[in-house]
Amino acid sequence: MIPITSAADRCVSRVHDEWFADEEKVRDAVGLLEKPLVDFSTDGELTCGICFETFLSDKLHAAACGHPFCESCWEGYITTAINDGPGCLMLRCPDPSCKAAIGQDMINLLAPDKDRHKYTSYFVRSYVEDNRKTKWCPAPGCDYAVNFVVGSGNYDVNCRCCYSFCWNCAEEAHRPVDCETVSKWVLKNSAESENMNWILANSKPCPRCKRPIEKNQGCMHITCNPPCKFEFCWLCLGAWTEHGEKTGGFYACNRYEAAKQDGIYDETEKRREMAKNSLERYTHYYERWATNQSSRQKALVDLKKMQTDDIEKLSDIQCQPESQLKFIIEAWLQIIECRRVLKWTYAYGFYIPDHEHGKRQFFEYLQGEAESGLERLHQCAEKELQLYSNAKGPSDDFNEFRTKLAGLTSVTKNYFENLVRALENGLPDVSSHGACIRNKSSKSLGGKHKGASSSESGQWACERCTLVNPRSATICQVCDQGH
């Protein structure tokens, strides 16, 4: 077998086109001969072309070209090529004048087991890396390759190892956030700019040596570290020798207050305040992003434990076949997926422009509804399930628990599908100036029309999420609230 498609990026149609356009050129490129160059006789004795020893014909082998070589020389030639790296996939006949390819059938016949496995790994790697629809899973320690199904609607793919990643950027799966936002967020999380913001917001430079100093006590009397040892006032940065009872003592500084009133410290304070606000805002979103990431990792561990130990135990206690307990696994899989989505919504929220108040308000509403549903599902799957796992015998209300958990799984899935759809569409139905007005209108009209409020234009605003829906819609396009 000769890997002919490797020369054309594994594109079968392209190989066909090139083959029929210039068959001889393709044959020459891949080492595929039309007929043997020499006759390989299977009778009598032949001379090996490498060691020049004479052997019976059944002790020699030849590629499609017919040049005979003994088994020992073949093994050494193939082993050397494989140890040299992936170039062995384009291995040619040992005869210097011959370009005949050495296919995998020759490798399997003549190479030792270790070398065969190495050759196969090179071949598989070559296939994956040359195929535009196949990629290696980027999860640490994973050896699986993933095939992308065209027309799936998004770039998130799932590996057999349970890791999900984005086909487009190879980061972990990040719907509903686009790759550009993910790139900015990941860079921000690792950038030195946040360290500088923290330094600016929480420290001041020593007036003498300019080294940043963090104030960790209440007193305004600051002493710089050796060798500087300069003593100064934290508020006005003046020398401490110029301070005393007249300037406010140890916990205040009249000089600073007077200078502040005169506008001397305005620009510096503004910069420090802006840095502090920026840091606090970033911290708000990052902490929630990281918390959901941590919760997702814990849920993955819980799911594995559930699959390996807990389901069997629960099956014995509740006298239920394991096939009837799949609803629990489905709930945990939904929790894991929702934690991932919720995590990335905080990156989405961080980059919503400050002036788009209506969009932010609507986003936070959708996020809050989805998060509340997820917390209810997570609590049911984690804490309430323990009651049945720790029971001494079958529980009378276990079927009620099954209905509850399955229902929460379905509702939570619906919440998050709506959230993802809305964010991927950019919340197009919410204007920066009109969302708050629609919110007030829907509440004021809520008593007149159960479930929704109608507008004069024929559209109707959902009472639950305030989205303005088209007249023909019978349920809200975001939260599925009935009209």
- pLDDT of amino acid 216: 74
- Once rounded to an integer, what is the mean pLDDT over residues 125-134? 85
> Could you tell me which residues come within 8 angstroms of residue 129 by beta carbon, excluding any fewer than 6 positions away?
136
Q: How confident is the model at residue 298 (pLDDT cuts 50, 70, 90)?
A: very high
Q: Which of 15-19, 85-89, 297-301 has the lowest mean pLDDT?
A: 15-19
Max CA separation in the chain (angstroms): 117
Is the pLDDT score of 439 beyond 50?
A: no
Of 342, 331, 213, whose CA–CA distance to 285 is shortest?
342
For the chain, where do the domains classified as CATH 3.30.40.10 start and end? 4-132
User: What is the rounded CA–CA span in Å between residue 265 and residue 204?
Assistant: 13
Q: Alpha helices, DSSP H only, in 351-397?
A: 357-379, 385-389
Higher local confidence (pLDDT), 434 or 285 = 285
Tokens of 176: 């509903």
Of 87-91, 264-268, 272-276, 340-344, the one with minimum mean pLDDT is 264-268
Q: pLDDT digit string (tens) for 240-293?
A: 887 766 555 555 566 555 555 555 556 666 777 777 778 778 888 888 898 899
**What mean pLDDT do residues 160-175 have?**
88
Is 4-132 in CATH node 1.10.3720.10? no
**What was the pLDDT predicted at 8?**
41
Note if 88 is an active site residue: no
Res. 64 pLDDT band, cuts 50 70 90: confident
Q: Which of 69-78, 181-190, 236-245 has the lowest mean pLDDT?
A: 236-245
Most confident of 132-141, 165-174, 259-268, 340-349: 340-349
> Residue 190 pLDDT more than 90?
no
pLDDT band for 117, please (50, 70, 90 cuts). very high
pLDDT tens digits for range 443-468: 333 333 334 444 445 677 766 555 56
Specify the higher pLDDT residue, 398 or 37.
Answer: 398
| pLDDT recorded at residue 434 | 45
Catalytic choice (65, 219, 228, 465):
219
- The pLDDT, as a whole number, for residue 380 is 93
pLDDT at 10 over 70: no
User: Model confidence at 476, in pLDDT bands (50, 70, 90)?
Assistant: low
The stretch 357-384 carries a mean pLDDT of 91
- pLDDT number for residue 480: 66
Q: Is the pLDDT of residue 222 over 70?
A: yes
Q: What CATH number labels 174-182+273-433? A: 1.20.120.1750
* Of 185-189, 193-197, 434-438, the least confident: 434-438
User: Would you say residue 429 has pLDDT above 80?
Assistant: no
Interval 19-43 mean pLDDT: 74
Nearest alpha-carbon partner for 293 in 353, 339, 230, 358: 339
Q: Cα–Cα distance between 162 and 318 in angstroms, integer?
A: 29
Q: Is 60 exceeded by the pLDDT of residue 436? A: no
The DSSP code for 200 is H
Q: How is residue 205 written in tokens?
A: 């430079």
- Given a cut of 80, is residue 407 above it in pLDDT? yes
Mean pLDDT of the chain: 80
Please give the full DSSP string across 254-299, using - where no structure is assigned.
HHHHHHHHTTTTHHHHHHHHHHHHHHHHHHHHHHHHHHHHHHHHHH
Residue 228 and residue 208 in contact, taking contact as beta carbons nearer than 8 Å:
yes
Give me the pLDDT at residue 103, please: 84
Percentage of the chain modeled with pLDDT above 90: 30
Q: Which of 67-71, 236-240, 350-354, 373-377 has the lowest mean pLDDT?
A: 236-240
Instruction: Tally the C-alpha atoms within 13 A of residue 242's C-alpha that lie toward its C-beta.
Output: 12
pLDDT reported for residue 130: 82
List Cβ neighbours of 111 (8 Å cut-off, separation of 6 or more): 75, 78, 79, 82, 119
Torsion on CA atoms 443, 447, 451, 452, rounded to nearest 10: -60
Helices (H), 31-178: 71-83, 104-110, 113-130
Do residues 253 and 243 touch, judged by C-beta distance below 8 A?
yes
Tell whether the model's pLDDT for residue 303 goes beyond 90.
Answer: yes
CA neighbor of 456 nearest in space, from 446, 467, 471, 440? 471
Top pLDDT among 296 and 129 is at 296
Q: Encoding tokens for residue 369?
A: 């509804």
- pLDDT computed for residue 198 by the predictor: 67
Q: With bands split at pLDDT 50, 70 and 90, how would you rate the model's confidence at 94?
A: very high
Q: Which helix (H) or strand (E) holds 453?
A: strand 452-454
pLDDT score at 466 = 54
In this predicted model, which residue has the larger pLDDT, 425 or 454?
A: 425
Where in the chain is CATH 1.20.120.1750? 174-182+273-433
pLDDT class of 470 with cuts at 50, 70, 90: confident
More confident residue, 162 or 97: 97
